[in-house]
């Protein structure tokens, strides 16, 4: 019986696209973005004096809350070939999605259940959550992208200058080597 190089069930030898970590990341981001849009719509009692004001408010809130999920989704697709980066990004995505969605849902419920007899104030919870998500996304992108480019560059077989632009001496040497290997193969 032939011995397998890995134990059964050991998935370390599979590339990241076989594990589909990036697809799980994008699914989690899609769910979090849908929940963010739902919280925006559910948390709005008054859309404003006009349709234009409502569209502007919804656009700002959607860009503020859904934008980081879009950036993280693009980043997850971009680093899908590196299993470790993809797994790290998945953990970060789950953390940002759960914390952002939970805090925004909590802030929406507090706003909707407030005592309406008290004077109104500006609710900046949505902006604080969005700002923190944007900052963490930008920070993670500034860390992951250089690591990705370093790993991609390090793992790529480099071509020497002699192979890219061979001199006449190198061409003659290669032809001589090819002729020798062909004569050895014929024997």
pLDDT tens for residues 90-148? 999 999 889 888 888 887 777 777 777 766 666 677 778 888 889 999 999 999 999 88
User: What is the total count of domains within the chain?
Assistant: 2
In a domain, 179, yes or no: yes
| Confidence band of 164 (pLDDT split at 50, 70, 90) | low
Q: Which is higher by pLDDT, 1 or 139?
A: 139
**Domain shared by 172 and 96, yes or no:** no
What average pLDDT does the segment 44-62 reach?
Answer: 73
Q: Determine the structural domain holding residue 165 and report its residue range.
A: 161-187
Structure confidence at residue 95 (pLDDT):
92
Structure confidence at residue 8 (pLDDT):
45
**Domain shared by 45 and 135, yes or no:** yes
With 0.85 as the threshold, say if the pTM is over it.
Answer: no
Q: What does the alpha-carbon distance between residue 69 and residue 92 come to, in Å, rounded to a whole number?
A: 11
Q: What does the alpha-carbon distance between residue 148 and residue 38 come to, in Å, rounded to a whole number?
A: 34
Report the candidate in 12, 31, 1 with the shortest Cα–Cα distance to residue 96. Answer: 31
In a domain, 8, yes or no: no
39 by DSSP, 3-state: which?
helix
């Amino acid at each position: 019986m032939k011995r397998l190089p890995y134990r059964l069930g050991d998935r370390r030898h599979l590339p990241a696209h076989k594990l589909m970590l990036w697809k799980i990341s994008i699914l989690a981001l899609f769910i979090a973005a849908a929940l963010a849009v739902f919280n925006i719509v559910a948390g709005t009692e008054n859309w404003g004096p006009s349709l234009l004001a409502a569209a502007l408010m919804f656009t700002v809130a959607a860009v503020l809350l859904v934008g980081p999920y879009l950036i993280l989704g693009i980043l997850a697709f971009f680093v899908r070939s590196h299993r470790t980066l993809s797994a790290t990004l998945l953990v970060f995505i789950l953390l940002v999605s759960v914390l952002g969605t939970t805090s925004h849902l909590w802030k929406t419920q507090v706003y909707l259940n407030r005592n309406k007899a008290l004077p109104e104030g500006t609710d900046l919870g949505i902006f604080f959550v969005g700002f923190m998500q944007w900052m963490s996304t930008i920070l993670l992108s500034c860390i992951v992208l250089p690591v990705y480019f370093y790993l991609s560059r390090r793992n790529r077989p480099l071509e020497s200058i002699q192979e890219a632009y061979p001199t006449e001496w190198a061409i003659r040497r290669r032809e001589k080597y090819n002729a020798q290997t062909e004569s050895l193969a014929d024997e």
